[in-house]
Structure 1
Amino acid sequence: MLDQRTLVALLDNLGTPPAGRAMIQRARKEAPVRKVQSRGGNVLTFYQSRKMSRTIQTESRHLEFSAAIGHEFDHEVIEYYMQPSVLNIEFIDDEGEVHQIDHTPDILVITERAIWFEEWKPWDRMEKRAFRFPWRYRVLDDHWASAPVEDYLAKRGIGYRILTDHDIPQVRVENALMLEDYFSPDSPDCPAKVEETVKELLRAEPFQTLSDLYAKAQCGPDEVFSLIASGTLVSDFDTRSLREPRKFCVYRDSAVRLFEHAMVGRAKSNITGIVNIATDTKISYDGRPHEVTFVGAQTVTLKNETDQLFELPLETLQELAARGSITMVEDPDAHDPFHGLADLSEKQLRIAVERQKCLVNGNISDRTKRRFTARLTAAKEMGVNELHALVPRFSDRGNRQPRLTLKADELIDESIQKHFLNKSAPSIKHAYLQLQHACNEAGIRSPSYETLRKRVAEVNRQHADLARHGKRMAYQRGDLVDVLYADTPVHGSRAFQYVHIDHTVLDMEVLSAETNKTLGRPTLSLAIDAYTRRILGLYLSFDPPSTKSTMMLIRDMVQRYKRLPQFLVVDNGPDFRSDDFRLLCELMRINIRYRPAARARHGAVMERIFGALHSEYVHNLAGNTKLTKYVRLVTKSFLPANLAEWTLELIYHGICYWAFEYYDSLDHTVLGMSPREAYEKSIVATGAREHRIVPYSRDFQILTCPSVERVLRTIDMQRGVKVNSNYWYWCQEMRSQSVHGMKVPVRYDPFDISTVFVGIKGKWVAATCKSLAPMRSMTTEEQKLYSTEILERKITRKDVTPSPQLLAEFIQSCKPEGILQKQLERQKANRDLYNSINQGAVIKLDKGIVTTSINSIRPSEDLEPADPISEADSSASDAFVFDENTIPSFEKV
């Protein structure tokens, strides 16, 4: 990124006026000026940008995000900012009318040769906006332009571009994401021997496919992808996908690529139709008829179906016609009387053939022969197949003109709009009664019920559902989307590119291992790879979905596969919008993609795996709750709580076996192979990417610990840092006068209330509370339950957190009953399970401390406020080093 001195020098070279400099400086400081929002099904993406050293937020998956990826890997782009500024423009058109424009451009782009704002919109949406605001938009040389905005920014030395989905090939975005790991500074260079072999092969043959190159050079994708990312190899980056090694080519140099492309001749004409723009011409745009009433030298006046007149630039109209967006409306008087072969039924064709035979054999009357001969002659003159002339046209007989009066037709449309397409969702019968009443008042004959029913059937179903039932029902009944774009894979191009994570309540009643009483239904969190459908991690507990559940799920994924995904696809739950989750993703360079609210199909991969788990495994176990769907029909002897047999630990290991053994090795109907086989093939085909391996170390476990409330705490060199109002945590690193009064980030261990992790001078160190050391096996949730019980019993004031001494004494004397006992047993089941599989407390419990039961905890005889933990627990070798970007600001997230 640019420092202030370099930016000033750049603006001097470009000759940017003071007003433009102020606008650019303000945009760099304040961007984004608004929060990204999801409306109408758009997908939000939080992209971790190396170039900008920040999280880039985009509102569109195919436009803004694609543009951000293009700028991220464009060497000419120095900086780019999303939602950079709000433009308030007052524009006076040629007729003297004043228009107010409040516009927020999508991106500010800074290069050495120019600085400009970009606006990204789909081409079809720009066409609609041009019809609504002809004074603002026009088409120039196959690109959209906006004279008011361009003139406003030109006075400030800043450019303006309107770009559409035609301006960035999606295959380029896909390839850039495929190579993103190899653009990283951490990516190892290609071995010199392999690089020389590849160059020698290209000197012998100027271009080769990736599959041929792998075989001849005896190398893999890691080496070749590294050469492409470094620019050593010239490739079809914008036209071919890296996921197709048999089609993707690399070239000796750019001259060879240009020559090969010229030989193939890929250029295609964009003109799909020609419209004769003249007065009284009838055209169709977006399915609606318009009539040309006047054609001038620069503008065209159109009249829509409601007789409203508006002007449109002639150049824009011609461009839309060339693209096929505007078509001629066929004149009924010029309709061809002969139908095409594709429109004819089998019976019509048979009759036509029989008539042709009769003409040859002469087995028809003279009058019929003359009639058929006349038809044949007319067909020849029109250049139509002679068989068309002999086709019977019985269906064309009769009066085809509308029999309803114009007023009756208007009342039908009004009845449908007012009395059928509304939020009350009335019946067609109700709309018909209102139509009859309206016709009686107008003094005309009412149309039949069948006429109204047929007219209702012609209404677009999705539009009707939207008006009658709302957008969620319209979405459920809407068209299924099989592909995103023709050149965009739905679920990514490789393993660990898109990983979906979500939570669900398990359809299972679980028992306590100690008391054999039912503890209720646990919550299951799963992570699944969208490309291979392989389950990558799971977390099962009695805690509701939270940041802790998400962090533990990510821990499990790393413990099993030593990898993290390129994108996490999540819903809009509060756990996925927490600062801790976003901070972890920023530190580990994981991009976040938020599914649109109320758009269930965006999470179909996740919902399908939950359904498969329950139908194939959970619903076949004792204590499953599938019968409770019909709760009024379930008798006491069939209640799931009375049939439960499984403990939390047993069902966890059972689900693990189903997910990582049974399901993992079963052929998937979509893949045509098992998820495990698809995963292994993907690793071979797209590179092992070993530099992206994440060790399951103490450093990583600390990163997945939640932050304390308000994140930062002030160090007191004598007492340490205070957490939860009453607990002081201390370590040897706090003894120095240099850290006294320093505000530092603090994270807590959910499975050990006696320990927190403090970021001091670029490393994480463990601090302990000696007063809580005897209770170090207790989870933070257990501590909250006891503290709440103390407050409810009015043992202390409501605004005071119980001290460690009071908490220890209460635990010793308390005999949990009822809901408290059940909640404590749930927490103990959670703690015992995850401590047994090495996913519990970060610092493992000493063997001398008894932790088998909560009631076995005793208060300490010596309750000094500060005591350092052992050197083994706070050694420098286990410290996590971080920089100033470790704690980003979330004010604008």
Structure 2
Amino acid sequence: MSDTEWVQAQLRADVIGRLAERDRVGVAAAEAAAVELGISRRQVYVLLERYRQGAGLVTDLVSRRSDGGKGGSRLSEPVEQVIRELVRTRYLTRQKRSIASLHREIVRVCAVQGLPAPARNTVETRIARMNPVEVGRRREGPDSVRPLQSAGDDVPVIEGILEQVQIDHTVIDLIVVDERERQPVGRPYLTVAIDVDSRCIIGMVVTLEPPSAVSVGLCLAHAVVDKRPWLERLGVEADWPMSGKPKALYVDNAAEFKSEALTRGCEQHGIELDYRPLGQPHYGGIVERVIGTAMREIHQLPGTTFSDPAERGRYDSERTSALTLSELEKWLTLAVATYHGTVHSTLGQTPAGRWAEGVAVAGAPVVTANPTAFSVDFLPVVRRKLTRTGFVIDHVRYFANVLQPWISRREDLGRFIIRRDPRDISRIWVLDPEGVEYVEVPYRTLSNPAVSVWEHRQALARLRERGIAQVDEAALFRMIEQMRHISETAEKTTKRSRREAERRNHAATAKKASPSSALAPPAAVPEAGVTRPASRFEEIEQW
């Protein structure tokens, strides 16, 4: 090798050798080594693996060259110079020329100079070795590389599983159909929680409800429980061992992430709630890239709406829609399992492998045995005073015998903190006066049907349209029954009514699947200033 190559190999041996002494090399350490060596972070992990598998020699880290194949030879320096020059002047520009166009130009210049033209895959290999940040900046502009490189401030360094979990929502680029008539009901929503250190998806919720604090709570509840019973209910044979309570939750500044329900729930369970700095979208790039890649995979399914009308063209999304909400959930579950076993370009290993390493270092994550109790702590909060007959919330009365000891001293107790699930208001959860545990309180009239907040509001609005000023509970539920009867017996069901019916069915299914055990008392809220101890489809580049 030349003197230059030898000096480069010595420098690599010095830097990579220091990393090899560690049991685990985090992203921050790999990034620092990549900057020092002038290579990509992925290449650092490749060199580290080569160093560990070899004898720890300088020659283990020499840049490997292709021999050009059997009977062939490497490209000559003049040809390499042509490639470098045209990549710089033709490919790395805002015109964003394709590799095919670049290769045609290289072939033309080589023919003029009497040089042998390289193959197209050779040109692709040269481009693949380039720094993706620099390529993105030259072709797309500085905003496009913010998820890859921080702009101004440093993104917090995460070096352990569940140290930080990013969570976000999106409307899915797919129209689903109802279970009974297989007619389109619209686009559902996806809420995803991803562990930053391992890039594992630890929680997922698919629902027809718009993003809310409930969506976040359901996603967190999915993240902190053993997923095997859930997978059995879905009828999916997949391995999804990633679960545990996050130490910190990283979210954007949307209203649902600043609700009292989410804030109190995180405080209750010792989860630090952090928000992305305004104007710096690269802080949430990991979960957004997961969602973006998921949408590209969903574009392969029947009924996709694609990302924009231009891409969709004349494709009839509603007519071709075929998947129900539960079928889409199964498909996404299998996609997640496949992703966990795919080598991640940034990590240099599979997310499942990184998760296993994190568990080996930090121990088994803290999980909850009662997801219902955990979910309750993230439901919307209402405050009401206790009356002789129980609680009254939006013209609906709730009572249980457990309330009787408090009724006699209700004047001294003030307003109670009450949690209510918008998908099913047939029961509420009331925090006892000592703030130790929640008690479940059903309708006072048990014969009333389970309804959602949205049905309740529609019925209330319909009664007021009829000029009924004093709304009572009986009239309210009569109106709900009439509305349901009209919806179910209509000769031609509209998309809106089908969607409402599917929302009711999905909520009822979720209720049946939840455990029936008593609610566990919530975790104690940490005192101010006291730090809670830490508890022990093809390759997809963006994931």
- Tell me the TM-score normalized by structure 1: 0.38
Q: In structure 1, what residue type is equivalent to 2:344? A: H
Q: In structure 2, what residue type is equivalent to 1:813? A: Q
Are positions 1:618 and 2:288 aligned together?
no
Q: In structure 2, what residue type is equivalent to 1:719? A: T
* CA separation of 1:735 and 1:832: change in aligned 2, threshold 3 A: closer
Distance in 2, matches of 1:654 and 1:788, equals 38
Q: Which residue of 1 aligns with 2:500?
A: 824
- Post-superposition offset of 1:729: 1.2
Which one of 642, 647, 655 corresponds to residue 324 of structure 2? 647
Q: Which residue of 1 aligns with 2:234?
A: none
Are positions 1:878 and 2:506 aligned together?
no
- Post-superposition offset of 1:804: 2.9
Deviations 1:669-689 (A, max 9, x none): 11111111110011112x115
Distance in 1, matches of 2:266 and 2:525, equals 16
Alignment of 1:556-595 (within 5 A): 556-559=222-225, 560=227, 561-595=242-276
Deviations 1:486-531 (A, max 9, x none): 9x88550011111110001100011111232211111111011111
- Post-superposition offset of 1:881: 5.3
* CA separation of 1:693 and 1:646: change in aligned 2, threshold 3 A: closer
Q: Is the 8 A contact 2:260 2:380 kept in 1?
A: no
* CA separation of 1:653 and 1:478: change in aligned 2, threshold 3 A: closer
Q: Is the 8 A contact 2:167 2:287 kept in 1?
A: yes
- Post-superposition offset of 1:605: 0.8
Distance in 1, matches of 2:495 and 2:467, equals 19
Are positions 1:813 and 2:482 aligned together?
yes
- Post-superposition offset of 1:811: 3.2
Which one of 701, 708, 714 corresponds to residue 375 of structure 2? 701
- Post-superposition offset of 1:576: 0.5
Distance in 2, matches of 1:715 and 1:886, equals 28
Alignment of 1:628-647 (within 5 A): 628-630=308-310, 634-635=313-314, 638-647=315-324
Deviations 1:780-815 (A, max 9, x none): 3333333334434x2623xx5x43312332233330
Distance in 1, matches of 2:320 and 2:363, equals 47
SS of the residue corresponding to residue 878 of structure 1 reads: coil
Q: Is the 8 A contact 2:261 2:377 kept in 1?
A: no
Q: Which residue of 1 aligns with 2:472?
A: 803
Distance in 1, matches of 2:219 and 2:279, equals 24
Distance in 1, matches of 2:494 and 2:527, equals 44
Distance in 2, matches of 1:819 and 1:886, equals 50
- Post-superposition offset of 1:715: 1.4
- Post-superposition offset of 1:475: 6.7
Are positions 1:476 and 2:143 aligned together?
yes
Distance in 2, matches of 1:820 and 1:788, equals 17
Distance in 1, matches of 2:264 and 2:168, equals 19
Are positions 1:665 and 2:335 aligned together?
no
Identity over aligned pairs, percent: 19
Distance in 2, matches of 1:805 and 1:820, equals 26
- Post-superposition offset of 1:885: 7.3
* CA separation of 1:508 and 1:490: change in aligned 2, threshold 3 A: same
Q: Which residue of 1 aligns with 2:179?
A: 513
- Post-superposition offset of 1:478: 8.2
- Post-superposition offset of 1:749: 2.7
Q: In structure 2, what residue type is equivalent to 1:878? A: L
SS of the residue corresponding to residue 159 of structure 2 reads: coil
Are positions 1:745 and 2:417 aligned together?
yes
Greater RCO (CA < 8 Å, at least 6 residues apart)? 2
Distance in 2, matches of 1:571 and 1:515, equals 38
Deviations 1:609-632 (A, max 9, x none): 1122122x311110111175317x
Q: Which residue of 2 aligns with 1:714?
A: 385
Which one of 523, 533, 551 corresponds to residue 199 of structure 2? 533
Distance in 1, matches of 2:142 and 2:27, equals 34
Q: Which residue of 1 aligns with 2:458?
A: 785
Q: Is the 8 A contact 2:265 2:377 kept in 1?
A: yes
**Rg larger for:** 1
Are positions 1:728 and 2:404 aligned together?
no
Q: Which residue of 2 aligns with 1:35?
A: none
Q: Is the 8 A contact 1:528 1:535 kept in 2?
A: yes
Distance in 2, matches of 1:552 and 1:501, equals 12
Q: Is the 8 A contact 1:502 1:526 kept in 2?
A: yes
- Post-superposition offset of 1:830: 2.9
Distance in 1, matches of 2:27 and 2:298, equals 40
- Post-superposition offset of 1:646: 0.6
Which one of 285, 304, 312 corresponds to residue 604 of structure 1? 285
SS of the residue corresponding to residue 340 of structure 2 reads: helix
Distance in 2, matches of 1:886 and 1:791, equals 46
- Post-superposition offset of 1:754: 1.7
- Tell me the TM-score normalized by structure 2: 0.61
Q: Which residue of 2 aligns with 1:495?
A: 161
* CA separation of 1:765 and 1:730: change in aligned 2, threshold 3 A: same
SS of the residue corresponding to residue 224 of structure 2 reads: helix
SS of the residue corresponding to residue 620 of structure 1 reads: coil
Unaligned runs of 5+ in 1: 1-210, 215-220, 222-239, 245-472, 844-872, 888-893
Distance in 1, matches of 2:523 and 2:247, equals 21
Distance in 2, matches of 1:643 and 1:655, equals 19
Equivalenced residue count is: 373
Q: In structure 1, what residue type is equivalent to 2:390? A: G
Alignment of 1:174-323 (within 5 A): none
- Post-superposition offset of 1:574: 0.2
Q: Is the 8 A contact 2:340 2:350 kept in 1?
A: yes
Deviations 1:101-152 (A, max 9, x none): xxxxxxxxxxxxxxxxxxxxxxxxxxxxxxxxxxxxxxxxxxxxxxxxxxxx
SS of the residue corresponding to residue 744 of structure 1 reads: strand
* CA separation of 1:582 and 1:474: change in aligned 2, threshold 3 A: farther
Distance in 1, matches of 2:338 and 2:145, equals 35
* CA separation of 1:662 and 1:789: change in aligned 2, threshold 3 A: farther
Distance in 2, matches of 1:512 and 1:831, equals 14
Q: Which residue of 2 aligns with 1:770?
A: 444
Distance in 2, matches of 1:653 and 1:747, equals 30
Q: Is the 8 A contact 2:186 2:499 kept in 1?
A: no
* CA separation of 1:766 and 1:622: change in aligned 2, threshold 3 A: same
* CA separation of 1:656 and 1:791: change in aligned 2, threshold 3 A: farther
Q: In structure 1, what residue type is equivalent to 2:197? A: Y
SS of the residue corresponding to residue 379 of structure 2 reads: coil
Q: Is the 8 A contact 1:508 1:625 kept in 2?
A: yes
